[in-house]
Structure 1
Amino acid sequence: MSKKKVLVFGTGFAGQGHTEAFRDAGAEVVGIVGRTAEVVKDVAEKLAIPYSSTDWKLALAECQPDIVAIATPGGAHVEAIKDAINVGCHVFCDKPLSESGETSEEIYQLALEKGVKTAFAASFRYMPHIMQAKQLIDAGKIGEPREVECISHFNLDPNIPFGWSHRIEAGGGRLNNNFTHLLSIVTSVIGEKILSVCGEVRNDMPKAPVVDGVHNFMTRRNFIPDDINSPELQWKDCDAEWSYTVMMQVESRLSTQNPVSVLFKHGGLVPRFNEDHLVFHGSKGSIYIKGHYGAGPLYLWDENKAWTEIPLPLEIAEALPKIEDDTQRSWTHLAIQLVKDVSGEKVAPYQTFKEGAEYQHIIDLIRKNDRAVDLT
């Protein structure tokens, strides 16, 4: 079969990562689009992409891709996705799907109406030890799942230069860019049916310094001003959350009798004392995974009443792309599923805009935070 043609929207860390993912998936990346002409030209040359542009609609018409990869900040997703769906493209979109549940629902319904395939890249559910945890739980190693803890502290610098991550309408906030991955991880291991949710958020960074030259999310720390107290420095208001606490109930695919309680606790600006971790507790045992997204290693508590490190099964390692970087490997694995699906091959179920819209509705509810009881 002929290679599927892919057009990438976004020139930063995600755009370059999506390019490599689809090439590894056997597709042909025919073009890339960005907002700054000089930057998109440089990235296209660096990645040997034959076409570059700052005009998304023109690029769709001239490249005629089978698939588009949306790698811009979440606030720029909606119109670009609509344009792509309306010309019949399948869509691979990074998280968040959009800046709100309403617009996410709109593009999900449009994709259904037009009959295009979609992939939602909250893709750390494909971390090897996450897949191992699912395998162990399905095998009954911890009995009936009862409780999950997702604990992380990132100690980000509060003087990170102002950008999309500081504004909700731009797709910023830790719920959009951390919680989406964790929710995907939990549902992949426990079950996809979310029963209830409540939570609260906190904005610890009400203002951020304005600095020119920041184009790549991953290098933004390099632009923190040397003199943060300079009277000449400009500042902008920020409205996105940097910490959150969420409680949720999820239906276990192993038993619908008792909902599984889930705690998500994330502090974006506070330091960690010990390692970030994920824990899955059950009626007979528990699974502990080091790392905020389950990088590992994985430990099992069972009838021996002790934590034992469990090696990663060979079949899981062999099922994933041979890529060391966790983010890139996860993107590539999902891109492979979409390319195979679009090509008519049978693949395992993967996350689509259905989950992307559901997650964004949940994030809207958490930010609304209208379930607290006033005790004053």
Structure 2
Amino acid sequence: MTREPATGRALRVAMIGHGFMGAAHSVGWRQAPRMFDLPDDVEMAVLVGRTADSVQRAAEQWGWAETSTDWREVIARPDIDIVDIVTPGDSHAEIAIAALDAGKHVLCEKPLANTVEEAEAMADAAARAAEHGVVSMVGFTYRRVPAATFLRDLIAEGVIGRVQQVRAAYRQDWLVDPEMPLAWRLQKEHAGSGALGDIGAHIIDLTQFVTGQTVEAVTGVTETIVSRRPLSAGGSGLSGTAGAGYGDVTVDDLALFTGRLSGGALASFEATRFATGRKNALTIEVSGDRGALAFDLEDLNSLQFYDRTLPDDRQGFTKIIVTEAAHPYVAAWWPAGHMLGYEHGFTHQVVDLVRGIHDGTAPHPSFAEGLGVQRVLDAVERSAADDAAWVRVRTEAPVGIR
């Protein structure tokens, strides 16, 4: 199916899945046309979930016009232009490929899939769809925090010179309590992997985004610290459970790995749900031969910049407040110094997707870029299974994009 370019009419969106990410994406769809001068309006047309009552409650809370419990029926509707996928990873491939084959533009939450093979099939489908004017994008939302985008821009300008080392970490503590109930994120058949895929994917993508380089080889270890957890009241629907009231955790809780970047620099990565006291601590520091830049999601309106070309008596990290109209995305929001928050990245994600659809240009990160991250995740898992041996990241292109 060939899709004609947008011509100023409203783009009708169906979101499949709800919950935490459903709320965040809904904020983005609501805010983008109100705060930004979009070339096309958007309509929050249909929210899809498995249970009629729960999806109806979510739709009323977030502002979706209709609900459905059948995503296949919704994808087949000719009045739906965009499909936004916020389901667990085990359903990403099936839904995204069906939507792309039906001529729908697709936004898919990260990580792109649970396996490299699924991600390759999705990238193939995206490449085929692109030949007919259909666009697709992966939801690596932290790219669209203004300070993170500005960090990328400064590195591209050469302000820190040649990149020599990267330190990236994403630390949370929500699983420290061993009585935290088993959830789908803790089962491999639903989530693909644990901390590695859920939050490690973010720091892999952010490292590649800000440096403009790819991870070529990795060595790493993973650890499951709590191997069995109690079932919640709704836990009977989880697969792979065993024992009286407890189920097996089949993913990692912690991943530590080192990567060699395509430009020659080394990068260290830490993804953990057991960093006691850390709630959502994503940090990245990039060191070059002329300076360094650092970003901390828990201080997301600023960057730390070190300029080693200054005289010795003036050196030291300087805090840049990223709230000026000249900074990425900021002009649509508030006067300088009036801070943005976590949810704004989801609005910026919608802005870039809608502009890409209107202009007929591929927005980033593409499904091919999502596949690249999936291959790094796979290489880390293979390294961990082989006593932290160095593993090359696969680079061959899927059939559809060679």
Same topology, TM > 0.5? yes
Residue 353 of structure 1: aligned partner: 367
Query: Relative to structure 2, which stretch is displaced further, 156-165 or 351-360?
Result: 156-165
Asked whether the equivalents of residues 198 and 371 of structure 1 are also in contact (C-alpha less than 8 Å), the reply is no
Asked whether the equivalents of residues 207 and 235 of structure 1 are also in contact (C-alpha less than 8 Å), the reply is yes
| 1:153 CA displacement | 3.0
Residue 3 of structure 2: aligned partner: none
Residue 241 of structure 1: aligned partner: 252
Residue 240 of structure 2: aligned partner: none
SS of the residue 1:247 aligns to:
strand
Query: Relative to structure 2, which stretch is displaced further, 272-281 or 161-170?
Result: 272-281
| 1:203 CA displacement | 1.1
Of 21, 34, 43, the residue aligned with 1:28 is 43
Residue 105 of structure 1: aligned partner: 120
SS of the residue 2:327 aligns to:
helix
Residue 169 of structure 1: aligned partner: 189
CA distance in 2, matches of 1:13, 1:210: 20
Of 128, 132, 144, the residue aligned with 2:150 is 132
Query: Any idea what the Cα deviations from partners look like across 1:192-235, whole Å, max 9, x if unmatched?
Result: 43322222211112112111259xxxxxxxxxxxxxxxxx9711
Residue 287 of structure 1: aligned partner: 293
Residue 270 of structure 2: aligned partner: 265
Residue 222 of structure 2: aligned partner: 201
Residue 372 of structure 1: aligned partner: 387
Question: Compared with structure 1, are the counterparts of its residues 300 and 20 closer, same or farther at alpha carbon in structure 2 (3 Å cutoff)?
Answer: closer
User: So what's the TM-score if we normalise by structure 1?
Assistant: 0.84
Tell me the amino acid that sits aligned with residue 288 of structure 1. A
Asked whether the equivalents of residues 201 and 243 of structure 1 are also in contact (C-alpha less than 8 Å), the reply is yes
Tell me the amino acid that sits aligned with residue 41 of structure 1. Q
| 1:191 CA displacement | 0.9
| 1:88 CA displacement | 0.9
Asked whether the equivalents of residues 210 and 233 of structure 1 are also in contact (C-alpha less than 8 Å), the reply is no
SS of the residue 2:343 aligns to:
helix
Tell me the amino acid that sits aligned with residue 360 of structure 1. Q
Asked whether the equivalents of residues 129 and 135 of structure 2 are also in contact (C-alpha less than 8 Å), the reply is no
Question: Compared with structure 1, are the counterparts of its residues 105 and 47 closer, same or farther at alpha carbon in structure 2 (3 Å cutoff)?
Answer: same
Question: Compared with structure 1, are the counterparts of its residues 13 and 273 closer, same or farther at alpha carbon in structure 2 (3 Å cutoff)?
Answer: closer
| 1:320 CA displacement | 6.7
Aligned-residue identity in percent: 23
Tell me the amino acid that sits aligned with residue 196 of structure 2. L
Q: Following superposition of structure 1 onto structure 2, how do residues 43-122 of structure 1 map, counting pairs within 5 Å? A: 43-62=58-77, 64-115=79-130, 116-122=134-140
Residue 311 of structure 2: aligned partner: none
Tell me the amino acid that sits aligned with residue 129 of structure 2. K
Residue 37 of structure 2: aligned partner: none
Of 326, 335, 341, the residue aligned with 2:356 is 341
| 1:321 CA displacement | 5.6
Query: Any idea what the Cα deviations from partners look like across 1:4-53, whole Å, max 9, x if unmatched?
Result: 11100012121232223223243111101011121011112223322211
Count of residue pairs brought into register by the alignment: 349
User: So what's the TM-score if we normalise by structure 2?
Assistant: 0.79
> Which residues of structure 1 form unaligned runs of 5+?
215-231, 253-258
Residue 208 of structure 2: aligned partner: 187
SS of the residue 2:80 aligns to:
coil
Asked whether the equivalents of residues 200 and 270 of structure 2 are also in contact (C-alpha less than 8 Å), the reply is no
SS of the residue 2:93 aligns to:
helix
Tell me the amino acid that sits aligned with residue 369 of structure 2. E
| 1:118 CA displacement | 0.6
SS of the residue 2:125 aligns to:
helix
SS of the residue 1:310 aligns to:
strand
Residue 315 of structure 2: aligned partner: 305
| 1:63 CA displacement | 6.4
Query: Relative to structure 2, which stretch is displaced further, 354-363 or 155-164?
Result: 155-164
Question: Compared with structure 1, are the counterparts of its residues 167 and 140 closer, same or farther at alpha carbon in structure 2 (3 Å cutoff)?
Answer: same
Tell me the amino acid that sits aligned with residue 172 of structure 2. F
Residue 328 of structure 1: aligned partner: 343
Asked whether the equivalents of residues 74 and 80 of structure 2 are also in contact (C-alpha less than 8 Å), the reply is no
SS of the residue 1:88 aligns to:
coil
| 1:110 CA displacement | 1.4
Question: Compared with structure 1, are the counterparts of its residues 306 and 264 closer, same or farther at alpha carbon in structure 2 (3 Å cutoff)?
Answer: same
| 1:289 CA displacement | 2.6
> Which residues of structure 2 form unaligned runs of 5+?
1-7, 34-40, 236-242, 309-313, 390-402
Query: Relative to structure 2, which stretch is displaced further, 89-98 or 134-143?
Result: 134-143
Query: Any idea what the Cα deviations from partners look like across 1:137-180, whole Å, max 9, x if unmatched?
Result: 23333221100101343222333221111012212511221111
Tell me the amino acid that sits aligned with residue 208 of structure 2. T
Question: Compared with structure 1, are the counterparts of its residues 28 and 241 closer, same or farther at alpha carbon in structure 2 (3 Å cutoff)?
Answer: same
Asked whether the equivalents of residues 321 and 333 of structure 1 are also in contact (C-alpha less than 8 Å), the reply is no
Asked whether the equivalents of residues 220 and 380 of structure 2 are also in contact (C-alpha less than 8 Å), the reply is yes
Tell me the amino acid that sits aligned with residue 100 of structure 2. I
